[in-house]
A and B are shown apart, each in its own frame.
Chain A
Amino acid sequence: MTTTTQNNQVVENASRRRFIIDTSVVGSGLMLGIGSFSASAAAPHNPNTMMSATSPEVNAWINIKPDDTVVIRIVRSEMGQGTRTGLAQLVAEELECNWKKIITESPTPGQSLSRKRVWGEFSTGGSRGIRISEDYVRRGAAGARIMLVQAAANQWNVSPSELSVDKGIISHKASGRKISYGKVAEAAAKLSPPDPKSIQLKNPKDWKVAGKPLARLDTFDKVNGTKIYGTDLQLPGMLCAAIKQSPVFGGKVKSFDANKVKNFRGVKAAVQVGDNAVAVVADTWWRAKVALDSLPIEWDEMGNGSISSVEIKKQMEEGLQAVGDFWGRKEGDAPAAIKTSNKIVEAIYSTPFQAHATMEPMNATARYTNEKAEAWVPTQNGEASHATLAEASGLPLNQCEIYKLDPGMGLGRRGGTQEYVTQAIRIAKQFPGIPIKMIWSREEDMTHDYYHPTAMAKMQAGLDSNGNITGIHIKTSGPSINATLNPMAIKNGKDNRQLQGFDEAVAPVGAQLGYTFPNLLTEYVMRNSHVPVGPWRGVNTNQNGLFMECFIEECARAAGKDSVAFRQALMKNHPKHLGVLNAAAKKANWSKPLPSGVHRGVAQFMGYGSYSACVAEVSVTGGSLVKIKRLVFALDCGHVVNPYLVREQIEGSVVMALGAIFNQEITVENGRIKQQNFDSYPLLKLAQVPKVESVLVPTMDFWGGVGEPTICVVGPAIINAISAALGKPLRNFPLVNEGLTLA
C-alpha cells in the first residue's frame, strides 16, 4: 500500500494545479490547464506533464533537475496500455537512476518538428509503443548516463572507468567520493554526446528496473476524478460544440434552419462543418446538444440511403464465389490437393462490423487565429493530429500545435483517423480566438465510427486417410481497411493487409501463420461498402484468427484427433507458435479429463510480432447459456518490460474479445447504423468475465507487441469449447446469432 504521505502530496499537487490556468503560459501556447504545476512537485508517481520549451536537458530524452528529479520524455500516447510506465522503465534501466525520482513529460508535435523529430514517431498503434521505441530510448538513456559519469570524472579528475553508478549516485570507490546526478547534470549537458551506435546496451537478463512488475506511474489521479481528459478540458473563454454528421455515410448537408435554435439558452450559433456536418456552439456542451437535437437539418444521402447489412452480406457471399487473381499465398496447388483428398472439410464463417466504443467519446478542442492553430486532443498519434490540424486550418505545420491528452481509450480509433480535429478547427475558425471544445455524443460516436470490417471466409481442407491435411484453401471476402484509409496500399485490387495472420514470414508485419501445410492458397476478395472501416484492436487478426482456429478445430474433429495434438503436428517449423500452445495446454492441464458437463477449446495465432495461445473451459446450459469456467492464456512477446501490466493487457483483451464474439454487432439499415448506444450495442459487464490465468513465456530474443496480439485467440478458444459442448460447429458471429448467451 502506498504511504499516506505520498498520497497527500499527490492529491495536493493535483488539486492545486487542477484549475490553475496561468494566463501568461496560455498566451505562449505551451501548457494549458493541464500539467502546469511547478517542478518542485516532484513526488513519486507524479502524472505526466507537457514539456516546457525551456526545459533544460542532458539530452533529448532526459532532463535531471538539481534535486535529482529525473524527467523522462515520452512521445507515445498513454491510454491505459502502460506504455508510459514501460518506456520509463527502459530509460531508468539504462540511465541507472532512482525510479522513485522519476516523472515523465510529453514533448509536443511542434517541439518534435522544430527538433527534426528527435523523439521519433508519435504513433501509438499497431502495438508499437514499446517494441519500435525500445532501441532508441535505451540508447538515449545510456548516452545520458555516459555523459553524467563523464561529468563527474571531469570534476574529480579521474577516469570514468573508475566510477560506478547506482540509483543516480555516482561513486568513486578509490576515494570514497559520491555525487548525485542532479549535481552534475548541468555539466553533463555541455559534453559531446557519445555515438549512439557505439553504446553497449544491457543484457535484458541483467535488468533491475525493466522486466519488473512495477506500479504504473499514473494511477493516482484516476481514482479521485482529478485526471483531465479531453472532455474535461476547461480553457478561459471556452465555448462548447455538439456535432451531427450525416446519418448516412457519404451524405452531405443540404440545409439547416439555424433560426430555430438561435434563441435557445446559451446558444451562440449553429454552423456548418465541412460538407457533411452541422454543429451548435453554446456556453455549455449540454445546451449545445439540446439545441442540436432540435435543429432541423436536411441531408442529401448521395444515393447511399437504401444500403443495408443484407446487401453488404450478399456482396461478400458473391465474393466468396468469385474467380480471379485474389491470392496472397500460393504454395503447391491447394484446390487440386483438396479435390483428390480422402475427405473434404468445408465451412463458411461470417463476422460483423464492430464499433470501438471507447469510453471517452471522440472529442477535440481547438483555437484558431490568423497566426496560429492549436488543438487539445486525446490522440494515439500526436503527429497525425498535427498534420490534420495544419491541413484543416490552412496554416503551415510550424504555426500549428497539438497538446495531447491521455485518451479515455484508443483501440485504434484515435490514430490515423483524426476527423474530430478537422471538425474542431473548422468550428473554431468561425469563432477566431475562442477555444471550442467539441464533443461527440455517444450516439454520434456509435454511428460514425471507422468500424472493424465485417468479413466472411470460405475455408476448405483435404484430409488423407490418416487424417492429415493435404491442403488448405482460405478465401476471405469483405471491406478493406486500406480502401477507406490508405488506397495507395492496394495494388491491382489486392490488399494483403486483410490477410493479416496468414503470412509466410514473421517480418515485416509480424503475423506469421503458425502451421505448415503441404499445399496452401490464401485469397482475399475485396468487397467494399459505403461504411468506413478502420483498425480495431487486433485489426484483421481478429476475424482471420477466428476463421483459422475454428476451422482447424473442425479439421481435427473430422480427423478424429485431439485438438492440441492435431495442431502440434502442423507446427514443427514454428517453434514459437508451438511454445505458447504447449505453455497454455500445460497450464490448463489439457490432458487431464474434465468434470462432466465441462468442455475445452484451444486456439493459437500470431499478430504484432507476438505469439498467443488460449485454452477455455465452458459449460453450456439448456443449449444456449454459456458459462466460462476457466481461461488460460499464454503469451510470448519476446521481452516483457512490465509483467504486471502485460497481464492487464491480456485481461482487457479477454473482455473485449468476449463482448465481440457474443454480443456486439453493428448493422446497417437505410444507409445508416442501427445501433445508437450501449443499450443496443452491449458491452460486457463484470459478472460475465472469467478470471484470466496468464502465463508469460518470453523467449528474450525478439521484441513483440502486447496490446493487440492478445485478443484474436480468445474468441476461437471459447467458440471451440462451446462447439465441443454442443457437438456442432459455430460459424455465424456474434454468437447471439447462434442463439447463445454469455452467463
Chain B
Amino acid sequence: MQLTVNGKVHNIDVEANMPLLWAIREIIGLTGTKYGCGVAQCGSCTVYMNGEPVRSCSIPVSAVGAMKITTVEALSPDNSHPIQKAWIALDVPQCGYCQSGQVMAAAALLKRIPKPTDSDIDNAMSNICRCGSYQKIRDGIHVASGQKKLADVLAFYEATPQSRA
C-alpha cells in the first residue's frame, strides 16, 4: 500500500491492522512520533491526517488511504513554527518525550483558532505530560498566538529574554 508522509509517497508492505504510529516509526523510520499508551489516551503519537490532529496509535494504516500524514519532523524545516519558537524561548519541555505530541496538538489549535482563549486551550490540549509542563504549555500557546509578549510571560518567572540568553 501507499502512505503519504510529509509530502513523500512511501510504498510499504505491511499488515492492514498495523497502527499508523508503528508504520511511521518502524517502517518509514520517523521516530519523532512517540509511543506512550497505545490506546489514544496520552497523545504522544499525535500526527496530522489531512491537516487534522489524530492519535496515530489507534488508527490502522489501512484506514489512512490517500490522506496526507504530517509528522512533527515536518512541522517546520528549522524549528521556526511559532509554537516551536515559543517552546524554545520558554523551555517548555522537561524530559521532552511527550512534546512531539504537545507541539503538534498546539500547532493544530493555532491553525483552527489563531487566538485561543484559556478555555480553548483547556479543551484542545488533552495530551498527557508526566513532567507537568502544562503551565509552560499554556504560556507557550499565548506567546505563539501573539496574545502575550514573551517578556511579560518571563517576568512572571522573574526572568527576561536577555537573562535567559
Contacts and interface: CB of A to CB of B under 8 A. Distances in A.
**Genuine A/B complex:** yes
Interface of A: 1-2, 4, 7-8, 10-11, 19, 79-82, 212-216, 219-229, 231-232, 234, 240, 265, 284-286, 357-361, 406-409, 411, 439, 441-442, 643-645, 647-648, 651-656, 677-679, 683-687, 689, 691-692, 694
A4 to B, nearest CB: 6
A215 B91 contact: yes
B49 interface: no
Contacts of B39: 442, 677-679
Given A222-B93, A359-B128, A679 B41 contact: yes
Contacts of A359: 34, 36, 42, 44, 95, 97-98, 128-131
Contact of A216 (B31, B33, B83, B91): B91
Interface in B87-129: 87-89, 91-100, 103, 121-123, 125-129
A739 to B, nearest CB: 24
A2 B85 contact: yes
Contacts of A360: 34, 36, 95, 97
Contact of A689 (B30, B42, B71, B132): B132
Contacts of A656: 130, 132
B78 A80 contact: no
Contacts of B100: 225
B66 interface: no
Name which of B71, B78, B157 has the most chain A CB atoms within 10 A of its CB. Answer: B78
Contacts of B135: 651, 689, 691-692
Contacts of A654: 132
A477 B132 CA distance: 30
Given A222-B87, A284-B27, A655-B129, 9 more contacts: A215-B165, A220-B88, A231-B34, A357-B130, A361-B35, A409-B95, A683-B130, A687-B123, A689-B135
A652 B132 contact: yes
B95 A685 contact: no
Interface of B: 15, 18-19, 22, 25-27, 29-39, 41-42, 44, 71-73, 75-80, 83-85, 87-89, 91-100, 103, 121-123, 125-138, 150, 157-159, 161, 163-165
Contact of B128 (A2, A223, A361, A678): A678
Nearest to A264: B15
5 contacts: A216-B91, A234-B29, A286-B22, A683-B130, A691-B135
Contacts of B92: 219, 223
A416 B91 CA distance: 29
A219 B96 CA distance: 8
Contacts of A408: 34, 95-98
Contacts of A645: 91
B59 to A, nearest CB: 13
A11 B97 contact: no
Name which of A11, A223, A284 has the most chain B CB atoms within 10 A of its CB. Answer: A223
A4 B89 CA distance: 12
Contacts of B97: 229, 358-360, 408-409
Name which of A361, A651, A692 has the most chain B CB atoms within 10 A of its CB. Answer: A651
B96 A678 contact: no
Contact of A222 (B25, B85, B99, B159): B99
Nearest to B123: A687
Contact of A232 (B31, B76, B83): B31
A231 B35 contact: yes
Given A226-B73, A286-B18, A10 B37 contact: no
B132 A223 contact: no
A650 to B, nearest CB: 9
B159 A643 contact: yes
Contacts of B38: 441-442, 677
B132 A655 contact: yes
B71 A225 contact: yes
Contacts of A7: 78-80, 88
Q: Binding site of B, secondary structure by majority: helix, strand, loop or mixed?
A: loop
Contacts of A689: 132, 134-135
A701 to B, nearest CB: 21
B17 to A, nearest CB: 8
B25 to A, nearest CB: 8
Nearest to B26: A284
A687 B150 CA distance: 22
A224 B29 contact: no
A235 B78 CA distance: 26
A2 B78 contact: no
Contacts of B33: 225
Contact of A686 (B25, B30, B137): B137
B37 A2 contact: no
Nearest to B83: A223
A213 B99 contact: no
Contacts of B75: 224
A359 B34 CA distance: 9
B132 A684 contact: yes
Nearest to B96: A222
Contacts of B94: 79-82, 409, 648, 652
Contacts of A82: 94
B96 A80 contact: yes
Contact of B73 (A225, A231, A265, A441): A225
Contacts of B91: 215-216, 219, 644-645, 648
B94 to A, nearest CB: 3
Contacts of B158: 213, 643
Contacts of A651: 132-136
Contact of B130 (A10, A358, A648): A358
Contacts of B26: 240, 284-286
A648 B133 contact: yes
Contacts of B41: 677-679
Given A80-B131, A359-B42, A359-B95, A644 B136 contact: no
B3 to A, nearest CB: 15
Nearest to B165: A215
Contacts of A213: 157-159, 163-164
B122 A686 contact: yes
Name which of A1, A4, A645, A684 has the most chain B CB atoms within 10 A of its CB. Answer: A1
Contact of B79 (A224, A285, A439, A652): A224
B161 A1 contact: yes
Given A225-B32, A687-B122, A652 B157 contact: no
Name which of B75, B79, B85 has the most chain A CB atoms within 10 A of its CB. Answer: B79
Contact of A79 (B32, B95, B125, B157): B95
A214 B164 contact: yes
A114 to B, nearest CB: 30
Nearest to A652: B132
A10 to B, nearest CB: 7
A656 to B, nearest CB: 6
